Amino acid sequence: MHDNKITRGTGNPDNSVTFGQLFIAIFGDKIPDVIFDGEINPAYLNNDGTIKEDQKICVRKNGNITFSNLDMAHKGKNRSSDVTKYDCTLAPLQEIKLNQ
């Protein structure tokens, strides 16, 4: 995820749906711009437990965003708002054009 302009809307989280209720319970009214559940497919891991290079999640050049890794795999034990851990680059994917 790179080179995006992310702006916060003016609405509040929708507490009538499960995701809205979950995010409100975790973050209150300060829901981050980008949320990562923290789950990594075991097939994406090297033998030493690190993530394979081509499977990393990279977040960079998106302005002054807020971020949260929920670390759901460990019930939030290592939850983090440090987006710098995801500052990396991957080979670009082929452009996809949709008919409008």
Predicted pLDDT of residue 100: 65
- Interacting residues of 53 by C-beta distance below 8 A, sequence separation 6+: 90
Burial 6-28 (b: 16+ CB within 10 A, else e): eeeeeeebeeeeeeeeebeeeee
Q: What local confidence, expressed as pLDDT, does residue 96 receive?
A: 81
Percentage of the chain exceeding pLDDT 90: 58
Can you list the residues of the chain whose pLDDT is less than 70?
Answer: 100
